[in-house]
Amino acid sequence: MSALLTVTCAVPAAGAVLTAALPAGSTEARRSTTKAVALGVSAVTLVLAAVVATRFDPHGARYQLTESYSWIRSFGITFSLGVDGIGAVLALLTAVLVPVVMLASWHDADPAPVAPDGTFENRRRTQGFFALILAVEAMVIVSFYATDVFLFYVFFEAMLIPMYFLIGGFGDRAGGPEAARQRSYAAVKFLLYNLLGGLVMLAAVIGLYVIAQDQGLGTFDLQTLTSAIADGKLQLTGTAEKALFLGFFFAFAVKAPLWPLHTWLPNAMGEATAGTAVLITAVVDKVGTFAMLRFCLGLFPDASKTFAPAILVLSVIGIIYGALLAVGQKDIKRLVAYASISHFGFIIMGIFALTSQGQSGATLYMVNHGISTAAWMLVAGFLISRRGSRLIADYGGVQKVAPVLAGTFLVGGLATLSLPGLAPFVSEFLVLVGTFTRYPAIGIVATFGIVLAALYALLLYQRTMTGPVKAEVSTMPDLKVRELAVVAPLVALTILLGVYPKPLTDLVNPSVNATLSQVHETDPAPAHPVAATSGGEQK
């Protein structure tokens, strides 16, 4: 039994403890040491996650590199890990984004002047900030690898704690005295919404265990439960299955976030630093959509098909609603937040279209959205830190004084609107194709989200980067070396995966096919099948 998955999860967890234990101090040397240690740990985690992804055999068993250690024996709870193609790709995405976020957030926990006399604040501890980022990384990776339902639940909930402190304790400095109150409100709202979802899920987890135990399967092991359901050894009545599905789905929909359970996201992303906002939408929220694939469809196949049409309606409402509100935003970061709500609508729509194209597209969308939104949000963060304002109206003519910053901001915006040749286009195309084949009306309405995406992305660029140079931005510096090191790999990945997504599709497609087989679904036959001639040519 390999311990590779455990080591991959343990490295950032141990790094969080080590970083938090480093000597505190206000000197630049001590802060630099803390940052270097945290960045080094994240680099090691990236290497390990890449090894896991490369060692995964798409033609092998669904779950590979499996590990299982007894935890709470009396309840059949184990520390069980195993990776499928989807989990491997999303864990790798997490490992790629965390060092990028750290570099982008290099000075976010430094002391800042709080008074005209040069007095500095001492509330932000560099050690705590970077330790919290590593803690989030560890918990998210465990969630992508967990094959025990209870183990997944524990880390699904535990990641809320470091995120709460990152939002409330290390929020955006732009905003004046009112900002501290807004940060506290956003952090509490984030925590309460997600805790409520988690409590509903806990009731469903307990209910699933009780039903399984009554039928001689006192276990939380995902593979055992899904196999027993498929073989008929574990039978759920229609009412029980629907209730359990809704308990799991509610928690995942809050985290995702799906309309109308989304309202915590704009507050959290708006008040967090740009790096923390990326952790929220590009990393933590992906656990919700991933869990829909792994747990909702795997454990409750019949209920998934029953509720799929309703979920698709909520998804398409989220697509249009998020895009419309993004068009009307005056705050840059809240605009990106509402755009993400729209994109998550596409992801969830692809999952519950129950087609191979839709689910492959949804998985790719998770990755591509993470990369492109990270680029867009981090460049927006660099812009905001220079001007000290999140308001769109406070900018104008930036491309004339900071052309590289403006150019990378444009690439992020074009990726967000799914321009052909950039990574999100492939995933959005697959989601729409997969939805059209089974639910054409839903697919048609969802396409309006593409038009609205072009509107909010291009309007934002026009209002901030073009036109006369405002006096407040006339001396704005362009991207520095560290900032270029943050943006360059994200832009490169956006282009690479836009023209050559095959490495990702090869990894995720076997897992997608296995998921569809669990819900006993196949792709709809073409409405007008193409006949083949005796010579093998189509006509």
Beta bridge partners of 72: 77
What is the radius of gyration, based on Cα positions, of the chain?
23
533 and 384 in contact (C-beta within 8 Å)? no
Distance CA 132, CA 31 (A): 15
Q: Exposed (0-12), middle (13-18) or buried (19+): which is 38, by Cβ within 10 Å?
A: buried
Q: Exposed (0-12), middle (13-18) or buried (19+): which is 119, by Cβ within 10 Å?
A: exposed
Q: Is 252 helix (H, G, I), strand (E, B) or coil?
A: helix
> In what helix (H) or strand (E) does residue 69 lie, and over which residues does it extend?
strand 64-72
- Looking at residue 538, its pLDDT comes to 47
- Looking at residue 252, its pLDDT comes to 94
Find the largest Cα–Cα distance for the chain: 88
Distance CA 291, CA 286 (A): 8
- Looking at residue 124, its pLDDT comes to 53
Structure tokens at 389: 């304002």
Beta strand extents in 394-524 (DSSP E only)? none
Q: How far is CA 141 from CA 29, 110, 199, in A?
A: 31, 28, 22
Buried/exposed 305-316: b ≥16 CB within 10 Å, e otherwise = eebbeebbebbb
Distance of CA 147 to the CA centre of its chain: 19
Question: Which residue stretches of 77-125 are H helix?
Answer: 85-104
Q: Please identify which residue in the block is written with the tokens 């299982």.
A: 68
Q: How far is CA 204 from CA 24, 146, 208, 538, in A?
A: 43, 18, 6, 51
- Looking at residue 74, its pLDDT comes to 80
pLDDT along the chain (539 residues), means of 10: 88 93 74 88 96 91 89 85 93 95 86 50 71 95 94 93 89 63 86 92 92 85 87 84 93 92 89 90 92 91 92 95 92 92 93 90 92 93 87 89 92 90 91 91 91 91 89 87 92 92 89 81 64 47
Residue 158 CB neighbour total at 10 angstroms: 16
- Looking at residue 539, its pLDDT comes to 42
Distance CA 435, CA 87 (A): 23
Distance CA 48, CA 34 (A): 22
Q: What are phi and psi of 173, to 5 degrees?
A: -80, -15
Provide CB contacts within 8 A for 64, sequence distance 6+: 55, 56, 57, 82, 83, 84
Distance CA 110, CA 90 (A): 31
Q: What are phi and psi of 397, to 5 degrees?
A: 75, 20
Structure tokens at 55: 């060692």
Q: Please identify which residue in the block is written with the tokens 């129950």.
A: 354
Distance CA 486, CA 491 (A): 9
Distance CA 300, CA 305 (A): 9
Distance CA 450, CA 343 (A): 10
Task: Respond yes or no on whether the N-terminal peptide bond of residue 260 is cis (omega within 30° of 0).
Answer: yes
Report which residue type is found at 470.
Answer: K
Q: Exposed (0-12), middle (13-18) or buried (19+): which is 210, by Cβ within 10 Å?
A: exposed
Q: How far is CA 44 from CA 12, 33, 275, 533, in A?
A: 9, 17, 20, 56
Residue 431 CB neighbour total at 10 angstroms: 31
Q: What are phi and psi of 6, to 5 degrees?
A: -60, -40
Distance CA 284, CA 263 (A): 16
Distance CA 192, CA 160 (A): 10
